[in-house]
């Protein structure tokens, strides 16, 4: 990792997100249980939520609709 202002390169998204496959096909409740077992940071993002732009390859993001139905699971 590096700070571009200090001459370092910015953090680039990682291609190593194979761990996401474990969450495919699960509902939000099951995802939260599995994520807790794996001690993973989870961010639930609603359609009107503000989201920071920091990239954390170990963070699990859940995009949900207004009814809290799962739309997308992604790392970052």
Q: Provide the pLDDT for residue 64.
A: 96
Max Cα–Cα distance, the chain, nearest Å? 45
Spell out the domains of the chain, with CATH numbers in brackets: 15-75 (3.30.10.10)
pLDDT tens digits for range 14-57: 557 889 999 999 999 999 999 999 999 999 999 999 999 899 98
For residue 15, the 8-state DSSP code is S
């Amino acid at each position: 990792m590096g700070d571009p202002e200090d001459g370092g390169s910015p953090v680039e998204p990682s291609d190593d997100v194979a761990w996401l496959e474990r969450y495919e096909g699960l509902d939000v409740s099951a995802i939260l249980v599995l994520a807790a077992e794996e001690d993973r940071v989870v961010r639930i993002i609603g359609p009107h939520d503000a989201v920071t732009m920091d990239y954390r390859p170990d963070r699990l993001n859940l995009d949900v609709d207004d009814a809290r139905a799962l739309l997308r699971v992604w790392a970052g």
